[in-house]
């Protein structure tokens, strides 16, 4: 009885808050017909927003993943002074509101700040320009890959890497043939999460962008502008793209989680055996 009640409650919530809105997004997007839908997406400003979003993700994701691999490897393999501090610092973007993150960059790199002023004097605009958007996105996605990789690296352990070295592998050979393949599912998982966040980020990016149409609008910002402009169909058309990204991310996430978990479990079992 309780079970049925609980399941029903859960289902109703999912339907109410997830399923219906997702359907609504697509329904609204197509309200004025397929032609209007594609016109809204093909609009030059929409295309600029899509381009900027893709570019931001294309820069932020590889950098983030590179940092994630380096940080997680160092943390899992070595003891060094400042390790705990590094672990704490990695988490900062998670604990700070994205809006505040954005304001931090404005404070640091705005034209009136010393550093921002210096850059501006050399013709480099950061705030209210693309570099600011990329920086803000980098900042908010910063912990994603590292957080995902640290426990996996720790679980996998260093024995296989040592085996590779003893067998004559060089540092990079070990890295690409043993270290990376051992964490590849976790890495992909981190990559998917990071990509989703990079494309969907609103708060931090909103603060540093300045909303210059056709220049510093990412997709989420563009949606907001359209919406405030009462262009609902167009707003939902662009939203539907982000929604599709979200759905694709969820599917990839489900698939990857199934791959990542067995690695951890196998390691745990091994650890238990060894302990026994």
Partner 1 sequence: MSIELRNIAKKFGDFVAVDNLNLHIETGELVALLGLSGSGKTTLLRIIAGLETPDTGEVLFHGEDASDVSVRERKVGFVFQHYALFRHMTVFENVAFGLRVIPRRARPAEAAIARRVHELLKLVQLDFLADRYPSQLSGGQRQRVALARTLAVEPKVLLLDEPFGALDAKVRQELRRWLRRLHDEIKITSVFVTHDQEEALELANRIVVMNQGRIEQIGSAEEVYHHPANAFVYNFLGNVNLFHGRIENGRVFLGDTAVELENTHAHAHPETGKAVLYVRPHLLEIVMKPNGKQTFPATVKSINPAGPQVKIELVAEWGDMVQVEIDHERYQALHLEPGANVFLRPKEQKLFVYSI
Using CB under 8 A, list all residues that contact partner 1.
159-160, 162-170, 173, 177-178, 181-182, 184, 266, 270, 273-274
Q: Which is nearer to partner 1, 34 or 275 (CB)?
A: 275
Smallest distance, Å, CB 180 to partner 1? 10
Instruction: Answer yes or no: are the C-beta atoms of 276 and 85 closer than 8 Å.
Output: no
Question: Which residue, among 192, 196, 198, 197, has the nearest Cα to 256 in the 3D structure?
Answer: 192
Our CB check for partner 1 shows the closer of 1 and 274 to be 274
Nearer to partner 1, 177 or 215 (CB): 177
Q: How many other CB atoms are found less than 10 A from the CB of residue 46? A: 22
Burial class (CB within 10 angstroms; exposed 0-12, middle 13-18, buried 19+) of 23: exposed
Rounded to a whole number of angstroms, the minimum distance from the CB of residue 144 to partner 1 is 23
Would you say 149 or 219 has its CB closer to partner 1? 149
Q: Compute the least distance from the CB of residue 178 to partner 1, in Å.
A: 6
Burial-class residue 206 by CB neighbours within 10 Å (0-12, 13-18, 19+): buried
Nearer to partner 1, 31 or 258 (CB): 258
Q: Is 129 helix (H, G, I), strand (E, B) or coil?
A: coil
Per the CB < 8 A criterion, the answer to whether 53 and 217 are in contact is no
**Relative orientation angle of helices 44-77 and 143-156, to the nearest 10 degrees:** 30
3-state secondary structure 75-128: HHHCCCCCHHHHHHHHHHHHHCCHHHHHHHHHHHHCCCCHHHHHHHHCCCCCCC
Distance CA 244, CA 14 (A): 18
Q: Which is nearer to partner 1, 184 or 253 (CB)?
A: 184
Q: Least distance (Å) from partner 1 to the CB of residue 266?
A: 7
Q: How far is the CB of 191 from partner 1 (least distance, A)?
A: 18
Q: How far is the CB of 46 from partner 1 (least distance, A)?
A: 42
């Amino acid at each position: 009885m309780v079970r049925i009640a609980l399941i029903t409650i859960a289902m109703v919530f999912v339907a109410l808050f997830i399923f219906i809105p997702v359907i609504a997004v697509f329904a609204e997007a197509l309200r004025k017909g397929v032609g209007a839908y594609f016109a809204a997406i093909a609009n030059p400003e929409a295309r600029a927003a899509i381009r900027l979003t893709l570019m931001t993700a294309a820069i932020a994701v590889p950098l983030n993943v590179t940092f994630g691999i380096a940080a997680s490897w160092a943390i899992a393999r070595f003891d060094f002074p400042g390790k705990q501090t590094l672990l704490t610092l990695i988490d900062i973007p998670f604990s700070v509101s994205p809006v505040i993150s954005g304001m931090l960059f404005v404070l640091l790199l705005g034209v009136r700040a010393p550093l921002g002023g210096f850059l501006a004097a050399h013709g480099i605009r950061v705030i209210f320009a693309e570099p600011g958007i990329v920086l803000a996105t980098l900042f908010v996605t910063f912990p994603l890959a590292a957080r995902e990789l640290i426990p996996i690296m720790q679980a996998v352990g260093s024995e296989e890497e040592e085996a590779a070295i003893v067998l004559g592998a060089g540092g990079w050979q070990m890295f690409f043939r043993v270290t990376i393949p051992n964490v590849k599912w976790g890495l992909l998982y981190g990559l998917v999460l990071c990509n989703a966040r990079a494309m969907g980020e609103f708060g931090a990016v909103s603060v540093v962008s300045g909303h210059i149409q056709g220049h510093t609008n990412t997709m989420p910002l563009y949606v907001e502008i359209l919406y405030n402009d009462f262009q609902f169909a167009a707003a939902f058309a662009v939203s539907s793209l982000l929604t599709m990204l979200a759905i694709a991310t969820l599917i990839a996430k489900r698939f990857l989680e199934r791959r990542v978990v067995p690695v951890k479990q196998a390691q745990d079992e091994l650890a238990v055996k060894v302990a026994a």
